[in-house]
Structure 1
Amino acid sequence: MADEEGASPRELILEACRRNNTSLLEETIADLESTAAKAKKKPTEHVAETLNKAFDGVGNGCLHIAATYGSYEVLDVLLDQEGLEIDELDHLEKDTPLHKAVRYVNSLDKSDWATAGHPIVEILLDAGCDPRIRNKAKLKSVELVDPRNTELRSILQKGEYAMTAGGDVVEEDDDGPTGSASDSE
């Protein structure tokens, strides 16, 4: 078909991840949903399948690429997609997107860690990425952190603790008095 010339959906997704181009990503996702609907497929499942199979030439998935390039806005869009595999391992180092995010933070100037780097790690943790997964070198993402970056180490340790606790962590609420005492007695 003549109208299918140009970049494939996979290529468009990966380019959007490299360039932090949310418009391109959202347009590609909309096209995938439209194609699925015309083919009588479930749009959500078709989008998730396409995203989960979008790898570059060396085996990095779309989340790996977005994390590698610090593409926060694209990560935000991707992580909203139902069915997206968030702890996919790349083909070379067996890194998760969280490993790639830590490597990205390490590549930044120290003055940019908190503003440009930490949010990339935090959005992945908030989405449920598992900081306990070890890569090919048997390292967890926290073990890749620049030793000077104590704040990032703390963020990852808290994420690991929260995941290990499995939801048993109770957030303290300081909205008012606590206890079983009653003022009516």
Structure 2
Amino acid sequence: MSDEGASPRELLLEACRRNNTELLHDVFNDIANALSEKGSPSERTADLINNARDGIGNNCLHIAATYGSYDALDLILDQEGVEVDPVDRLEKDTPLHKSVRFVNGLSKDEWDEGKSIVEILVDAGADPRIRNKANLKAMDLVDPRNTELRSMLQRAEFAMTAGGDVVQEDDEEDGAGSASDSE
């Protein structure tokens, strides 16, 4: 693997771009077998996945979602400790935002196939309530004609909210009843 001189970060990002699960397995195995590095193999793998970024600030989940790399997403999301809602540097998009943009770029006949990219992220716990730099949730980006995808994201948002997983604003985290909250 290191014969070409590519770093694990570069290989991880390229595997996501190309939906290359064989290369992903090689990267994960190399990380697991690196005896000189600190932490458990699963911690090192999660660290690489969560911190590897391309030149414009996309991590591997952003890249896999952008390119519709379902198999790569599946393998990455199976790793322990993976953060499913990182934001990119430019648009502050999550991988869920990127997956909706991917589906929008498909022909209407391919929407069902593309929906699986969104579904796998939602199933892994991606939060459909997160807003990007333009103050848009992933659902706000859905092509208006794609009512099935919009409904799926609405159900996911409702399930998270009904399940008590409420997104709190910074000033609400201190608890209700403070003097600044009542003014």
| 2:60 corresponding residue in structure 1 | 62
Change (3 A) 1:40 1:136: closer
Mapped partners of 2:86, 2:38: distance in 1: 28
> SS of the residue aligned with 1:84?
coil
Q: Distance in 2 between matches of 1:87 and 1:165?
A: 19
2:126 counterpart residue number: 129
Q: Distance in 1 between matches of 2:4 and 2:23?
A: 17
Aligned Cα root-mean-square deviation (Å): 1.5
Q: Does 1:149 align with 2:146?
A: yes
Alignment of 1:28-67 (within 5 A): 28-35=27-34, 37-39=35-37, 41-67=39-65
Show the counterpart of 2:86. Answer: 88
Aligned to 2:95: 97
Amino acid at match of 2:105: S
Instruction: Kindly provide the CA deviation profile for residues 91-148 of structure 1, in whole angstroms up to 9, marking residues without a partner as x.
Output: 0000000000000000001100002x10000000000000000000000000000000
* Alignment match, 1:175: none
C-alpha distance in 2 between matches for 1:18 and 1:159? 26
Is 1:8–2:3 an aligned residue pair? no
Structure with larger Rg: 1
Rounded Cα–Cα distance in structure 1 between residues aligned with 2:5 and 2:74: 26
| Residues in 2 aligned to 1:138 and 1:38: alpha-carbon distance in whole angstroms | 43
Query: How far is 1:40 from its partner?
Result: 5.3
Change (3 A) 1:56 1:147: same
TM-score (norm 1): 0.85
The 2-side partners of 1:8 and 1:33 are apart by: 15
Q: Give the structure-2-normalised TM-score.
A: 0.86
Where has structure 1 moved over 3 Å in runs of 4 or more?
37-40
Task: Give the Å deviation of 1:166.
Answer: 1.2
Letter in 2 for 1:104: F
Q: What percentage of aligned pairs have identical amino acids?
A: 65
Q: Distance in 2 between matches of 1:109 and 1:38?
A: 48
- The structure-2 alpha-carbon separation of the partners of 1:93 and 1:39, relative to structure 1 and needing over 3 Å to count, comes to closer
1:120 aligns to 2:122 (yes or no): no
Distance 1:143 1:40 in 2: 42
Gaps of 5+ in 1: 169-185
Equivalent residue, structure 1, for 2:25: 26
